[in-house]
Amino acid sequence: MESDMSNVSRTGKEEINNATSPTTFGKSVESQAQIADAAAQASPDVGGEMLNIYRLEPIAAPDDPRWENSPGHGIIVVAARTPGDARIVAAARELDFMEVDAAPAEDVTTVNASAFRDDKLYTVIEIDRDRRDVKRGVVEGVISVDTIRPVQED
């Protein structure tokens, strides 16, 4: 038996599988573009991080049962890297269970239960792009911190 670190086992008489592919890491067009983008953003000549502006809008009906677990905050505008990052930026402003006397729903944090992360509750619309004059975060709107309810009254 070879002494490589692979966890692939051989059964039968087929050719040995070493769990590698013939592709070469970093050689695809997408990888090359990402490497070039990262180098450009890391350049000392760059003023600030290139960000886009996104508007998060509630799209579910007010009586949708999903709002019971994830209260909405109205329309929020954020500066973020991508639409997914816009959801993360907005959700990060909500109060997390670890900061109050409450129990987590499914994880060690309640950030995953945020209405901003549910595409059935909020949609993300790009309203501006390639901005260096803003910092990553909430640009407009108010995100309430009363999204977590304590498990027992004081």
What is the SS3 assignment for the chain? CCCCCCCCCCCCCCCCCCCCCCCCCCCCHHHHHHHHHHHHHHCCCCCCCCEEEEEEEECCCCCCCHHHHCCCCCCEEEEECCHHHHHHHHHHCCCCHHHCCCCCCCCCCCHHHCHHHCCCCEEEEEEEEEECCCCCEEEECCCCCCCCCCCCCC
pLDDT of residue 5: 54
Beta-bridged to residue 138, according to DSSP, are 78
pLDDT of residue 30: 72
The answer on pLDDT for 110 being more than 60 is no
pLDDT in tens, 29-57: 777 777 776 666 555 454 568 899 999 99
Q: Give, in order, the Cα–Cα distances in Å from 28 to each of 33, 68, 70, 102.
A: 9, 45, 40, 47
Which percentage of the chain shows pLDDT scores above 70?
Answer: 57
How much is the average pLDDT of 67-95? 86
In which band, very low, low, confident or very high, does the pLDDT at 129 lie, cut at 50, 70 and 90?
Answer: very high
pLDDT of residue 12: 66
pTM for this model (two decimals): 0.60
Q: For tokens 């997914």, what's the residue?
A: 84
Quote the CA–CA distance of 138 and 55 in Å, as a whole number.
10
Q: Who wins on pLDDT, 114 or 83?
A: 83
Quote the CA–CA distance of 55 and 86 in Å, as a whole number.
8
pLDDT of residue 54: 97
How much is the average pLDDT of 105-132? 80
- Say if residues 54 and 75 touch (Cβ distance below 8 Å): no
Structure token digits, residue 31: 């990888």
Q: Who wins on pLDDT, 70 or 122?
A: 122
Phi and psi of 67, rounded to 5°? Answer: -65, -20
Q: Which of 88-97, 123-132, 143-152 has the highest mean pLDDT?
A: 123-132
